[in-house]
Amino acid sequence: MAFTLPALPYAFDALEPFVDATTMQIHHGKHHQAYVTNLNNALDKFPELKDLGIVDINKKVGTDAIPKDIATVVRNNGGGHWNHSFFWKIMTAPTNSNGPSDELKAAVDASFGSMDVMKEKFNAAAAGRFGSGWAWLGVKADGSLGITSTPNQDNPLQGVADEALLPVLGLDVWEHAYYLKYQNRRPEYIAAFWNIVNWEQVSENFTAAKAGSPPAL
């Protein structure tokens, strides 16, 4: 079964003034669509892989389950499809979130000391990722929260990741995610991101991750 571009859960201008409508239109309709198209084209060569869901495809990146001649394409575009499908859902209009759940707040405090410290560490991971990539907050194997970053369209579900996590929050720091509005001011974009985090969705992701499941897309 072919993968398809998911609809955004809000209007293109819903994240204004922190993320502009033009960026959202291009990011969703051009960049994300390209990942979907390229992934489908690669899997056309190996129809037996088409029934795998996008989570399983990402988990098999870096293993022999993905044939070598499409391994790089699947890593980049399967990662890009999962990452963006996840990313759209963890953002919302600036006034549409009441903050993290008590359970998530407690986990953040236990792992980092406070929400402010967590944000500082997350911001540092996002700002410090050289070139294109992502920053992630997720649940580690021991149940605690951790922060990591990945290059390009890699994510912590993949076997190639430096640190395995079940993601609960992620930020795209590719230039196409912010350059029209912020130009080279990546730290300003990262700071603005916290104004549009959908904490209800992040809290749901945390509950699922604590139970050992990746977030539903």
User: How far is Cα 81 from Cα 73, in angstroms, rounded to an integer?
Assistant: 12
How far apart are alpha carbons 52 and 134 in whole angstroms?
Answer: 24
Q: Is 172 annotated as a binding residue?
A: yes
Tell me whether residue 28 is annotated as binding: no
Angstrom distance (rounded) from CA 155 to CA 157: 6
Strand ranges (E), 87-215: 133-139, 145-151, 166-172
Instruction: Provide CB contacts within 8 A for 95, sequence distance 6+.
Output: none
Q: According to the annotation, is 176 in a ligand binding site?
A: yes
Q: Does the bond joining 94 to the residue before it have cis omega, within 30 degrees of 0?
A: no
Contact 77, 43 (CB under 8 A): no
- Non-local (6+) Cβ contacts of 66 within 8 A are 49, 57, 60, 74, 75
Please enumerate, by residue number, every residue annotated as part of a binding site for Mn(2+).
27, 84, 172, 176
Please enumerate, by residue number, every residue annotated as part of a binding site.
27, 84, 172, 176
